[in-house]
Structure 1
């Protein structure tokens, strides 16, 4: 008689079946949320409602970004903690003394504050250092050159971000003018952070990271161009 039995094939867990689509889904969600934010801030007629969604957008972006990070070891947790903490307290110093960046104050759009600085600012510094660090690591350059290039990418993004931030109550500068000290402060701090990124013994192959930076860049440059 012919063989009528079939070898047992265990069911593939749903999580494993969906894994090949995770990157495309994450990238799609990232693009959609930023596109909605772009429309809401510029064309909805009610930008205040979308300004209040900024913290959620920032948290969602970071959740998507770091869901693709591998090897959550002590070195990475230390790196993340140092970047977020130093970035946050540099902003505290800046807000209260005018040192580092210049004389500015945060508005209400970025959510809950501690010491007059939104708590999410530390997370934003971490995201920018991490994404630009990954982006320049795609190039075959000396690590110090990569650190400088990544710092310049951070400052370049800030150049377009600053007018958008002022327009939508993220923060405001005394006298209404953005001082050059802001960009110098960003460059120095970003360069130090990027040196740490390059030398830290952490896993540096997050395929979503370069796209997070590019989506952010397109978002802020597009708004800047239409202000």
Structure 2
């Protein structure tokens, strides 16, 4: 008599079935949100509405980015806390003293502020350090050179970001002019953060991280060319 029974095969959990598509979905969402923001700020006729969505866009980008991070150990949590805190308080010092970056003030587009600095600024520093650090780690070179190159990538992105920030009420510079001290301060602080990133015993293989940097770069450079 032929065998009519089949061995039991457990159902594959939905999360596991969707896992191969997670990266493509995350990259697609990241690209779409930035494309919508690009259109909204420049062509919708109502840029103020899209300026108010900036905090949500920043939070979403970080959620997508760090959902691909592995090994959430004490070393990584300490790294994240140090970068977020140091980045935030560097901005507090900058706002209230004019040191580090120059004389500037934050607008309302980046959300809730504490000590005149948006709370999300620390998270933005973490995202920039993490993504640019991952991007340079794709190249085989000495860790110190990687730190220098990553710091330069951060300053390069800030070069295009600054005019966009002034145009859409992220922050503004005294007299409407971006001082050279801003880029020098960025370079020094970014280099220190990148040295920490390179030497910290954290997992550094987040496949989405380089794309987050590149999408941000395309976003700000594209707006900058049309201002």
Report the TM range for the smaller structure's normalisation: over 0.9
Q: Write out aligned runs for 1:20-169 (5 A).
A: 20-169=20-169
> SS at 1:8's partner residue?
coil
Deviation >6 Å, runs of 4+: none
> Counterparts of 2:175 and 2:10 in 1: how far apart (Å)?
67
> Counterparts of 2:9 and 2:205 in 1: how far apart (Å)?
33
Gaps of 5+ in 2: none
> Counterparts of 2:33 and 2:74 in 1: how far apart (Å)?
32
Q: CA deviation at 1:73?
A: 0.3
Q: Which residue of 2 aligns with 1:181?
A: 181
> SS at 2:172's partner residue?
strand
Asked whether 1:224 is paired with 2:224, we answer yes
Gaps of 5+ in 1: none
Q: CA deviation at 1:11?
A: 0.3
> Counterparts of 1:178 and 1:224 in 2: how far apart (Å)?
14
> SS at 1:34's partner residue?
helix
Q: CA deviation at 1:90?
A: 0.2
1:43-64 superposed Cα distances (whole Å, 9 cap, x missing partner): 0000000000000000000000
Q: CA deviation at 1:68?
A: 0.2
User: What RMSD, in angstroms, separates the aligned Cα atoms of the two structures?
Assistant: 0.3
Q: CA deviation at 1:224?
A: 0.1
> Counterparts of 1:102 and 1:6 in 2: how far apart (Å)?
73
> SS at 1:4's partner residue?
coil
> Counterparts of 1:32 and 1:139 in 2: how far apart (Å)?
28
Q: CA deviation at 1:162?
A: 0.1
> SS at 2:105's partner residue?
strand
Q: Which residue of 2 aligns with 1:200?
A: 200
Q: CA deviation at 1:146?
A: 0.1
> SS at 1:55's partner residue?
helix
Q: CA deviation at 1:109?
A: 0.2
Q: TM-score of the superposition, structure 2-length normalised?
A: 1.00
> Counterparts of 2:86 and 2:164 in 1: how far apart (Å)?
24
Q: Which residue of 2 aligns with 1:12?
A: 12
